[in-house]
Amino acid sequence: MKEILGIDVGATGIKGAIVNIEEGKLITDRIKYPTPKPATPLAMTEVMKKLVEDHNWKGKPIGMGFPAIIKDGVALSASNIDDSWLDFPIVGFLSKKLKSPINVVNDADAAGIAEQKFGDDTPKKGLVILLTLGTGIGSAVFNNGVLIPNTELGHMKWKDSVVEKYVSNNARETKELSYKTWGKELNRVLNHIEFVLSPDHIIIGGGISKKFHKYEEFLDCSATVAPAKMLNNAGIVGAAMVAPI
């Protein structure tokens, strides 16, 4: 089966589309609903149900990216969603509620899987790191194309908090930072990541990847740095790619 419903769950929006997973392309317009507040399992599941109905997808396999550490079908973190997701058996719960076979992976890992496979000229060799800069910061780390799942580089300690509180797109907007101030701080974070992990290539993902030209001049790294090639669709495409088929 090459057409799959991909659902990209974020702290701000929940998006879905049918994806051709052989070509890495959306074949329907993406539908986006706001993430309910509080973002509890029941409230978020109602939105996911709507997406399943919108696409007439009951009973068919679904792939999902979710903004948490996901191990053995269980959500193990809840940074920008309700705490009740902690230790929540997400895969078992959603497969019952959505009445479809489903697989769930971390949202940044999903985006990285899509970029590695379908991102034009994204290196497939060496250490490649994707950072999604959105409400929080997600990361996906690949060594020679193999994913090391559930890395949380956005949660490295930074100043008096963690990285995502300083250089997510949300931090830029809420603190009303100029691209120069924010870009220089992002550069310091990337330099620190370089020191710790020695990546060959860094991909900047999330909605802010579209504005790469506005902060590119402030980035000075040994690794090559480029915006995500699939821009904001990587999350949905990668989600569809992990569906249980």
Q: Cβ contacts of residue 188 below 8 Å, gap of 6+?
A: none
Do the beta carbons of residue 240 and residue 214 sit within 8 Å? no
Do the beta carbons of residue 8 and residue 107 sit within 8 Å? yes
Q: Of 86 and 177, which has the nearer Cβ to ligand BGC?
A: 86
Q: Of 156 and 177, which has the nearer Cβ to ligand BGC?
A: 156
Residue-level length of the chain? 245
Calculate the dihedral angle through the C-alpha atoms of 97, 148, 225, 234, rounding to the nearest 10 degrees: -20
Q: Of 20 and 84, which has the nearer Cβ to ligand BGC?
A: 84
- DSSP annotation of 35 reads P
Give the nearest distance from C-beta 77 to ligand BGC in angstroms: 5
Q: Of 57 and 88, which has the nearer Cβ to ligand BGC?
A: 88
Q: Catalog residues that contact ligand BGC under the rule CB under 6 A.
A: 10, 67-69, 77, 79-80, 106-108, 132, 134, 136-138, 152, 154-155, 164
Give the nearest distance from C-beta 235 to ligand BGC in angstroms: 9
Q: What share of the chain is helix, strand, coil (3-state, %, to 5)?
A: 35, 25, 35
Give the nearest distance from C-beta 221 to ligand BGC in angstroms: 21
